[in-house]
Chains A and B, each alone.
Chain A
Amino acid sequence: MADSADDCEPIEYVTPAGERVDLTGTWRGSFGVHYIRQDGSCVWWVGLEENESEELGARIMVVFRGELGADFTITGEWMSVNRSSFISDRRHGSVTFRIDFGSAGDTETIMLRSTLADAPQGGLGPYAGGVTLVYEGPLPQVPLY
């Protein structure tokens, strides 16, 4: 794994249809909404827990930092950065995602499926059990300084 941002290597994926893959965008999984930023081989995201009663990420946010491999996988680490202090059983772990391509009608979609997840402190963590993140669209537009 790259030890610093300077170690992010150029990498280029294409879909089976030949379109370049950039994972940067908004993704959704069972845990919640994920805002993903890809920079070369480096992938970071913040995952905001979604529940019915509170705003996104009000209780739990997950930070992930990983690296794309040439075998269409992302391997990295996640840390639960709770905004509430009571949750202690799924604080961090390592996980590998496989990049999958699918389709919904005529629209090709990209998915990230967790294949290996480890939360050494106990608890399954947000990405255990074959969790799938589905690409929903670009990141929300944000103003520049």
Chain B
Amino acid sequence: MVVTSTVRARSIITACVAGFTLVACTTSTASPSESVPESTAPTMGGAECSPIDLRTQDGNRIDLTGIWRSFGATHYVRQDGNCVWWVAIEDDPDLEQVSQLVVVFRGELSSDFTLSGEWMSVMRPALISGSLHGPITFEIGLEDPEAVVLRSTAPFGPYERVTMNFIGPLPRGIEPGGS
């Protein structure tokens, strides 16, 4: 059963009065039932991905969407304008999918052919360095126009000085509802 907002808010306020250490209690907006203003829209929300046109030396447009590999993980990458997100799943046939390392990333492409963002390890309590997340910048390597790569100079974490290689487009699947 779901506690109603009114009851819940009262309970929370009661908890604050009772002296619990609670950062949220120090604000004037402790009630979760209040509406959230539109102005809280995130800075990199879907509407704010800007168009970007990066091209190889041969003039081919760069679209990072697809499957990439790095540090023994398959990366499912989605680019939308200058926004790039991915999910990386460690390739380990001995582990169930839900027990594998999963790293998520979001970043932004720049006209200087860099991709800057942050990653977070979702599934594993600690990586090699003990870190769960960090900022990261990749350079888009175009030496071989047929094999665009992403190079990281990160000092730690799963992307520590790694090169990501494009494997191919996302696989086509069976359309939902289709035969």
Tell me whether B8 and A94 are in contact (CB under 8 A).
no
Chain B interface (Cβ within 8 Å of chain A)?
1-3, 8, 11-12, 14-15, 18, 20-24, 26-27, 29-36, 38, 40-47, 49, 76-78, 80, 83, 85-87, 95-102, 104-106, 118-128, 132-135, 169-176
Tell me whether A18 and B132 are in contact (CB under 8 A).
no
Tell me whether A142 and B135 are in contact (CB under 8 A).
no
Tell me whether A63 and B86 are in contact (CB under 8 A).
yes
Tell me whether A35 and B32 are in contact (CB under 8 A).
no
Tell me whether B83 and A79 are in contact (CB under 8 A).
yes
Bound-state Cα–Cα, A105 to B175, Å: 41
The size class of the interface chain A forms with chain B is 35 or more
Taking the nearest CB of chain A, how far is it from the CB of B19, in angstroms? Answer: 10
Given A1-B42, A56-B98, A70-B30, A44–B170 Cβ distance below 8 Å?
Answer: no
Bound-state Cα–Cα, A15 to B174, Å: 43
State whether the Cβ of A28 lies closer than 8 Å to any Cβ in chain B: no
Bound-state Cα–Cα, A18 to B14, Å: 10
Tell me whether A81 and B76 are in contact (CB under 8 A).
yes
Interface residue ranges of A44-72 to B (CB < 8 Å): 44-46, 55-59, 61, 63, 65-67, 69-72
With a CB–CB cut-off of 8 A, which chain B residues contact A143?
A: 95, 99
Chain A interface (Cβ within 8 Å of chain B)?
1, 3-6, 8, 10-18, 33, 35-37, 39, 42, 44-46, 55-59, 61, 63, 65-67, 69-73, 75-77, 79-87, 91-94, 96, 98-104, 111, 115-116, 118-121, 139-145
With a CB–CB cut-off of 8 A, which chain B residues contact A99?
A: 32
With a CB–CB cut-off of 8 A, which chain A residues contact B30?
A: 70-72
- Which residue of chain A is the closest to B38 with respect to CB atoms? A116
With a CB–CB cut-off of 8 A, which chain B residues contact A65?
A: 104, 106, 118, 120
Bound-state Cα–Cα, A10 to B26, Å: 14
Bound-state Cα–Cα, A14 to B20, Å: 8
With a CB–CB cut-off of 8 A, which chain A residues contact B38?
A: 116
Tell me whether B104 and A145 are in contact (CB under 8 A).
no
Tell me whether A81 and B78 are in contact (CB under 8 A).
yes
Taking the nearest CB of chain A, how far is it from the CB of B7, in angstroms? Answer: 8
Bound-state Cα–Cα, A86 to B178, Å: 11
Tell me whether B124 and A63 are in contact (CB under 8 A).
no
With a CB–CB cut-off of 8 A, which chain A residues contact B124?
A: 142, 144
Bound-state Cα–Cα, A85 to B65, Å: 10
Bound-state Cα–Cα, A98 to B135, Å: 27
Tell me whether A104 and B32 are in contact (CB under 8 A).
no
